[in-house]
Amino acid sequence: MLYNLFEYLKEVYDFPGAGVFQYISFRSAMALITSLIVSLLFGGKIINLIRNRQIGEEVRQLGLEGEESKKGTPTMGGLIILAAIIIPTLLFAQLKNIYVIILLISTIWLGFIGFLDDYIKVYKKDKEGLAGRFKILGQVGIGIIVALFMVFHQDIVVKEQIDLNAENIISISDKLEKSAKTTIPFMKDNEFDYQVLTQWLGSTAADYWWIVFVMIVVFIITAVSNGANLTDGVDGLATGTSAIIGGTLAVFAYVSGNILAADYLNIMYIPNIGEIVIFMSAFVGSCVGFLWYNSYPAQVFMGDTGSLSLGGIIAVVAILIRKELLLPILCGIFLIENLSVVLQVGWFKYTKKKYGEGRRIFKMSPLHHHYQKLGYHESKIVTRFWIVGIMLAVLTIVTLKLR
């Protein structure tokens, strides 16, 4: 909104200083600051509103230290995160940009699914929340929408090879193209073409690759959003981890949307993708602002309203900037939390069938609960997970040059 306003003021009235809104760096900084202000200014009011309506956490008896003290803590705090993402984006991003539109749709869609889950848990007193099949159906739905936009929307194009000179800069728009390629980390020719997956179809491969792509996108969004949901088990863990990941994705979005940086790093140039930096700045600001209330001891929990949205946004951004194959590294915390649950459940069922009694790999899953059972304090677990997350983020950025 403000972008369009100041663009109009600059063109019509030559308003002093209006041109600064053309710069992604300025608008990103403003989105970050605004997101923090929204979180801190309205966060306390939202928490009080939730508390007054007695929307508190129903604590499961897991035998974990300090779990009783969490009983009654306001939940559904993800509303703070959503507001702190959406408001700055509406103010500072180009709202006609297809990438911004996709991210706003994804945020509201996943936030609504999470809200329904929290609503059922709190108001219907059903600890299971929204039935798993409906939650998965919602994740599949947004996955299909994102994938179809990627495949068929005319504004989503790339320039795979850049031969940078004055003439090329002028004519670059004429050489953009639809592409089925993404990035493979650590490879010299680090591009993977999804059409390879349908080569067995012969000459018709190029017509059907998008079906496989849709399934892959659905899987990624579902896996990452559920990973964030599982990680949200101790105060500040999912929030801080998401902020680290979000900042890293903002770096990738910036270099992918800057023709000079893309040329230097020898990566795909994606026109207009730079607007994602504004969105991700608001994303990081919302996470940091929410930590003000969510750090130990938490005054509010984000609930599924927040965790599903955070994970889904991360997955969608990675797909849009064609870095989804980096997610196992960048989202290593989410991955290991997911795997710990899968391994625990799978091994328990296997041993129960084979030996007559179920056995466990971890004292409890997800993994952060395992360390709680070992006697580690929540704050130490969270801090160490953050450190690992930072290391993984640095490794992910290094893949830009380490091939």
- How is 339-398 classified by DSSP, letter by letter? HHHHHHHHHHHHHHHHHSS---SSSSSSHHHHHHHTT--HHHHHHHHHHHHHHHHHHHHH
Residue 352 φ then ψ, to 5°: -65, -40
Q: Which long-range contacts (CB under 8 A, 24 or more apart) does 141-145 make?
A: 141/109, 142/105, 142/106, 142/109, 142/110, 142/221, 142/312, 142/316, 143/214, 143/217, 143/218, 143/219, 143/220, 143/221, 143/222, 144/214, 144/217, 144/218, 145/102, 145/105, 145/109
pLDDT at residue 101, rounded to an integer: 97
Taking residue 136's Cβ as centre, other Cβ atoms within 10 Å add up to: 14
Kindly report, residue by residue over 193-230, the tens digit of the pLDDT.
888 888 777 776 667 888 999 999 999 999 999 999 99
- The confidence band for 55, taking pLDDT boundaries of 50, 70 and 90, is low
Q: Which one is predicted more confidently, 76 or 149?
A: 149
Q: For the residues 343-352, what does the mean pLDDT come to?
A: 93
pTM of the model: 0.92
Q: Which of 107, 71, 59, 33 is nearest to 289 (CA)?
A: 33
Which of 50-64, 318-332, 348-362 has the highest mean predicted lDDT (pLDDT)?
318-332
Helix H segments across 189-322? 205-231, 237-257, 259-265, 275-294, 303-320
Handedness of CA 313, 220, 237, 393 (dihedral sign): negative
Does the pLDDT of residue 361 top 90, yes or no?
Answer: yes
Does the pLDDT of residue 166 top 60, yes or no?
Answer: no
- The confidence band for 250, taking pLDDT boundaries of 50, 70 and 90, is very high
pLDDT at residue 162, rounded to an integer: 62
Percent of the chain with pLDDT over 70: 88
Beta carbons of 273 and 320 less than 8 angstroms apart: yes
What does the block give as tokens for 7? 């663009």
Does the pLDDT of residue 66 top 80, yes or no?
Answer: no
pLDDT at residue 63, rounded to an integer: 61
State the amino acid at position 271 in one-letter form.
P
pLDDT at residue 177, rounded to an integer: 78
Does the pLDDT of residue 314 top 60, yes or no?
Answer: yes
pLDDT at residue 198, rounded to an integer: 82
Residue 186's contacts (CB-CB under 8 Å, 6 or more residues apart) are 399, 402, 403
Round to whole Å and give the CA distance between 319 and 252: 12
pLDDT at residue 213, rounded to an integer: 93
Kindly report, residue by residue over 10-36, the tens digit of the pLDDT.
666 776 766 777 889 999 999 999 999
Helix H segments across 53-178? 78-92, 98-123, 132-152, 166-171
Q: For the residues 96-106, what does the mean pLDDT come to?
A: 96
Percent of the chain with pLDDT over 90: 58
Mean pLDDT score of the chain, rounded to an integer? 87
- The confidence band for 84, taking pLDDT boundaries of 50, 70 and 90, is very high
Does the pLDDT of residue 277 top 60, yes or no?
Answer: yes
Q: Which of 25, 87, 79 is nearest to 253 (CA)?
A: 25
Kindly report, residue by residue over 135-150, the tens digit of the pLDDT.
999 999 999 999 999 9
By CB atoms closer than 10 A (0-12, 13-18, 19+), residue 167 is exposed
pLDDT at residue 58, rounded to an integer: 63
- The confidence band for 170, taking pLDDT boundaries of 50, 70 and 90, is very low
Does the pLDDT of residue 160 top 90, yes or no?
Answer: no
What are the extents of the domains in the chain? 2-324
Residue 217's contacts (CB-CB under 8 Å, 6 or more residues apart) are 143, 144, 146, 147, 150, 319, 324
